[in-house]
Structure 1
Amino acid sequence: MNITEHNVNGLVYLAADGFEAAGGVAHGFSTRLGGVSEGKFSSLNLSMNRGDDPDKVRENYRRFCAAIGADMTHVVCSSQVHGDVVRTITTADLGIGLDQPEPWQADGLVTDIPGVVLTVFNADCLPILLYDPVRRVVGAVHAGWRGTALGIVNRAVDRMVDCYGCDRLDILAAIGPGISQCCFETHEDVPNAMTEAMGASALHGIQVLPTGKFRVDLKKLNVRRLESAGLDPDHIAVSADCTACLPDKYWSHRVTKGERGSQAAMIAIV
């Protein structure tokens, strides 16, 4: 599978060609291109809680959801806390809307309810979308370095299997744009967390620098996580885009020192 770029009337987003080929799902990874927000939020900011004009953010949602074929009135998101909680979305969770605070904390969402638009946000952390076209189940995961060490994506796959009877070999995964190894320079706490959690397999995603610091490849580590969860390697797509390298296309928390909007990744059964 591959990640491909789409442009709908100037709104640029990414999608997984394997999801599109399987059919039955609307999905996309947003960029910062094609919205109406201004200043540091220019232009497709999808965060309601960073100080942007709420009316402009709603219009951004309308545009992005229209581009990917999702219903913005059915968006479901959560308060992301860099943990390993995965929430199963049921009909009891619907109807909250964009103007109300998220009622629970979770960094992963899964559901089999058609029309529900699972949404996670990012600005360096990895957005990961999951889709089982056989059982018709979707998932959305927010994986920063802490979530990667905790195995948040493994827990999402496990929840799809345990709650909905998914076969791991049927699940497709798409890792969206996030900070790449070229720009994710860290102290020893990050690689230590990875090796403690993943053992020697984590070393393939860690580069030691002459300065004594490290560069960590969260994309490669999450591919290993997905493979260890039982996914077919051919069913995993990874975006090459680095949010820190492409400031005109994405927000990077590191580059902007927190003065930014947010990208979103969305997925819904149709």
Structure 2
Amino acid sequence: MNITERNVNGVVYLTADGFEAAGGVAHGFSTRLGGVSQGIYSSLNLGFRRGDDPKHVAENYRIFCAAIGVDPAKLVFTNQVHGDIVRTVTAADAREGLNAVVEYEADGLMTDVPGVALTVFSADCLPILLYDPVRRAVAAVHAGWRGTASGIVTRAVEKMRDCYGTDPADLLAAIGPGISKCCFETHEDVPNAMTEAMGACALHSIEVLPTGKFRVDLKGLNAERLENAGVLPEHIAVSQDCTACLPERYWSHRVTQGQRGSQAAVIALTDPV
């Protein structure tokens, strides 16, 4: 599978061609291009808690949802806390207004209800979308380095198997734009967490620098976790876009030191024809 760029009425976003080939699902990874926000939030900011004008954010959601083909009234958000909790959601979790308070904390959402639009946010951390076209179920995962170490994407695969009867070999997975190995320079705490959690298989995603610091490939580590959970390698698409390298296309928390908007990744089952 591959990640493909789309442009619908000036809204630039990414999709997984395998999802589109399978049919029955609407999805997209946003960029910062195509919205109405101003200044540091220019232009398609989808984060409500970043300091942007709420009216601009609401209009950005209307624009983005129209481009990817989901109903903004059926979006489901979560409070992301860099953990490994995956929450099962239904139509009852859909937003009562885009700025409504979310009571629960989770870094993954999943559903088998058509129309419910699962949403996760990112600005260096990885957005990961999962689709089971056989059992008709989807999941959206937010994986920073802590979530990667704790195995949230593995939890999502396991929970889809347990709740929906998903066979991991049927799953399609898309790892969206996030900070890449080229820019994710860390102290020893990050590689130590990865090797403690994943053992020697994590080592090929970790580079030791002459300075004593490390570069870590979060995309590679999450692809490794997906394969270890039973997802076929040919069913995994990985965006090569690095949010830190492409400030004109994406927000990077590291690059902006937190003064930024947010990307979003959204996925929803469509009604069967």
Which residue in 1 is equivalent to 2:27? Answer: 27
Provide the residue aligned with 1:237 in structure 2.
237
1:38-77 equivalences under 5 Å are 38-77=38-77
Provide the residue aligned with 2:209 in structure 1: 209
SS in 1 for 2:101: coil
Aligned counterparts of 1:6 and 1:84: Cα–Cα separation in 2: 31
Separation in structure 2 between the aligned mates of residue 212 and residue 95 of structure 1, nearest angstrom: 46
The answer to whether 1:3 aligns with 2:3 is yes
Q: In the alignment, is the contact (CA less than 8 A) between 2:91 and 2:116 conserved in 1?
A: no
Deviation at residue 96 of structure 1 after TM alignment: 3.4
Cross-structure match for 1:87:
87
Q: How high is the TM-score relative to the length of structure 1?
A: 0.99
Whole-Å separation in 1 of the counterparts to 2:198 and 2:211:
24
| Equivalent-residue separation in structure 1 for 2:92 and 2:50 (angstroms) | 27
Question: Could you give the per-residue CA deviations for residues 78-120 of structure 1, whole angstroms, max 9, x where no partner exists?
Answer: 0000000000002432343312121100000000000000000
Q: Which residue of 2 aligns with 1:189?
A: 189
Matched residues in 1 for 2:95 and 2:238: separation? 32
Report the Cα distance in structure 1 between the residues aligned to 2:19 and 2:130, rounded to whole angstroms. Answer: 9
Check the 8 A contact 2:174/2:238 in 1, yes or no. yes
* Unaligned 5+ runs, structure 1: none
Distance 1:90 1:126 in 2: 24
**Structure 2 letter corresponding to 1:11:** V
**Equivalent residue runs for 1:60-139 within 5 Å:** 60-139=60-139
Q: Render the CA deviation track for 1:160-205: whole Å, top value 9, x for unaligned.
A: 0000011111000000000000000000000000000000000010
What number of residue pairs does the alignment pair up?
A: 270
2:90/2:116 contact within 8 Å kept: no
Matched position secondary structure for 1:50: coil
Residue ranges of structure 2 left out of the alignment (5+ in a row): none
Q: Is contact 2:122–2:263 with CA below 8 Å preserved after alignment?
A: yes
Question: Partners of 2:267 and 2:97 in 1: how far apart?
Answer: 16
